[in-house]
Amino acid sequence: MPRRSRKQRRSEREDHRRLRDGAWLRWVVVAVGVALRLWAARGELWLDELISLWQAVHASSWLAIFDGIHSDNNHYLTSLWLRLLGDGHSPLLYRAPSIVAGAGTLAVVAIHEKLKVLVLFAASFILAQYDSEARGYALMVFFAVACFELAKQDRGALFAICAVAGLLAHATFAFALAAFAVWKWRRPAWFLAPIAVFILCWTLDWRVMVYRGGTPEPLLDTVRRLARATLGTPLGPLELLAIPALGVALVGLARTRERVFYTAIFLAPAAALVLLQPRFVAPRYFLVCVPFFLILLAELPQVAIAMVVLLNVAGIARLDRGNPKEVVQYMAANTAGDTVTLSSDHKFRNWIVLEYYARGEKKQFEYVDDQSAPWYVIHDFSDDPNPPAIAAYSLVLRTAWSGLSGWRFFLYRRDGSEHASFLPEGQPSLSVDTP
């Protein structure tokens, strides 16, 4: 371990003293952050979580999770948990490891970073979004932050363990691993196990991974969504706040002792985009960079930090993944027969989710590729929702949605109250949300 200067030792003692003095307040902030994540974890599983659950439960063996699924929705540590639980449990139980990982991230930050940094982490919309889903992103962030603090303390063995776990949590931890390698290149022994695990995962799985992806969009739109989710700014002029925030982050980068790492962690995803040129890119692919941007963002004036925190908390309060169960229950309550027949604008996305929540209903649900089905479902994740008019159908329900996961549903009923599938007039049904 290199000998630290007297100035560095004095600075570290001052940091530790500040941490002790505000310990009680830090744990209050951690508790608030955990409460926000529990709030974000309410509601039903959305498509990617359900795909992960199905893949884990139906894998041919435990080992097949590592070498037999080949899907970008297979996040190893999360898949092991989902397989252990099996089907039919509450969403909160499936999401428990992510919630715990999110709490762990806050605890690490509370112990090692400034109070301003902790407040930004606790209130972060994008971290709360993924700390409350049955996916591998929260675990990845936890191990990335843990590796960062361990590397600063030159604790190589624990660093290597956390780096291996980070790769098993999610493949995009590789961005952080590359940044750590650039920063700590004089410590090659730290990286022997993580690099070996990376090569093994690449050979067995990642090189043949199938990217289900989503709706392609321009890279600039993805960056804008990432900035909005990180800073909490709504669509519109407030998006311009990202410019001074970026400037502050650059100033913080220039001042910090870990500037090599920060530079590398932000450049690694950009290099991957240039080399791989993926067809689909989502904000979550850059999530591993967000914690370190938040650390730099703590250089903002306190008033600006307060505004960022309020905007993020407001986003968490609105967070909603679409309420597919509400759609299922409405169709069941307003169908007279024993079978609910529906169609939609996207069979893969809509039917997987709706069929899962239809299993608890007494009536049978069937999907048909028929424009004249009694029920028609449209999924929408636009910033400005505008339900389209469909000939011979009336909009009867639209669900709430806000965030980076899931989508809102528009439910249409075929015109004609005489249709045998519908309840007679005057029969009780669920409330209708009309435009």
**Could you state, in chain order, the average pLDDT of each consecutive group of 10 residues for the chain (435 residues)?**
56 61 88 98 97 97 96 97 96 98 98 96 98 98 99 97 99 98 97 98 94 78 90 75 76 84 94 87 95 93 92 96 97 95 95 96 94 93 89 95 96 73 45 33
- Rounded to 5 degrees, what are φ and ψ at 90? -70, 150
**Residue 325 identity (one-letter amino acid):** K
Contact 335, 363 (CB under 8 A): yes
pLDDT for 383 equals 83
* 3-state class (DSSP) for residue 408: strand
- How far apart are the C-alpha atoms of 320 and 134, rounded to whole Å? 15
Token pair recorded at residue 120: 């930004």
Q: What share of the chain is helix, strand, coil (3-state, %, to 5)?
A: 60, 10, 30
Sign of CA dihedral 144, 150, 154, 156: negative
Kindly give the interhelix angle for 290-297 and 137-152, rounded to the nearest 10 degrees. 60
For the domain spanning 324-414, the CATH number is 3.40.190
Count CB atoms within 10 A of the CB of residue 334.
Answer: 22
Report the C-alpha dihedral over residues 51, 54, 57, 58, rounded to 10 degrees. Answer: -120
CA 302 vs CA 119, 248, 286, 306, 341: distances in Å: 11, 13, 26, 6, 55
In this structure, what DSSP letter does residue 386 have?
Answer: -
Token pair recorded at residue 88: 């039919």
Token pair recorded at residue 254: 């220039």
Residue that has been written with the tokens 């890119």 in this structure: 281
Domain segments of the chain: what residues?
6-318, 324-414
Contact 131, 89 (CB under 8 A): no
- Beta strands at 408-414 and 393-398: parallel, antiparallel or unpaired: antiparallel
pLDDT for 233 equals 85
pLDDT for 417 equals 45
What are 402's strand-pairing partners?
320
> 0.85 cut: is pTM over it?
yes
Burial state string for 3-24 with b = 16 or more CB within 10 A and e = fewer than 16: eeeeeeeeeeeeeeeebeeeee
CA 340 vs CA 206, 262, 327, 330, 370: distances in Å: 40, 54, 12, 11, 14
DSSP letters spanning 60-119: SSTTHHHHT--BTT--HHHHHHHHHH-SS--HHHHTHHHHHHHHHHHHHHHHHS-HHHHH
